[in-house]
Amino acid sequence: GVCDGLRRSASLKLTSLPLRSNASSLPFAQQEIATVVEKLEEDAMPDVHQGDSLSWGDSLFLYLEREGQPLNIASVSEFEGVISLKECTEWIESRLPLIPHFRQHVVPPPFNIGLPTWEFDPKFDIRNHIREVKLRRGTESAFKAAAAKVLSATMNRDWPLWDLTLLHGLDLHRTGIVI
């Protein structure tokens, strides 16, 4: 199924990554992560323009998608410890300038002929994209069922096309994330 390829990550907590710091002052693994984040920030795509067209492949996904037949591309992960909604939202929000398309929504061409374009969403609200679900049972099967339910929904095309769901209540004090 969709969730059979669960990736288990060892002790990575979003808030353990500094927003900006000197990488040499951190433990070795965090130094590597901080160095990668700094490089990403340097290489961020600031030249994304209003009205850039989607690729033919991305457009095909949009045109083929139907209610009850989502064509989502996703990641399902488990993390040790609890990641709060507030911490996660603040961390994601601090990284939004690195990925301009996360603040843009897709605008179809007239009569759906041609390629849709990316347009900045003047009503962007991160609360439409990050949510949390508390599992009644924290078992592996409950985790997979919740992830499958999240991934079976078709995204609202009036908003930027991304979504992050925190799954709380997993056994062994873990947090699941579906992106």
52 falls in which pLDDT band (50, 70, 90)? confident
**In the predicted model, what is the mean pLDDT of residues 54-65?**
89
Q: Higher-confidence residue: 72 or 124?
A: 124
Specify the pLDDT at position 36: 59
Question: What would the two tokens of residue 7 be?
Answer: 């990736």
Specify the pLDDT at position 63: 87
Q: Is the pLDDT of residue 19 over 60?
A: no
Q: Higher-confidence residue: 35 or 88?
A: 88
Q: Is the pLDDT of residue 102 over 80?
A: yes
Q: Is the pLDDT of residue 48 over 60?
A: no
Q: Is the pLDDT of residue 138 over 70?
A: yes
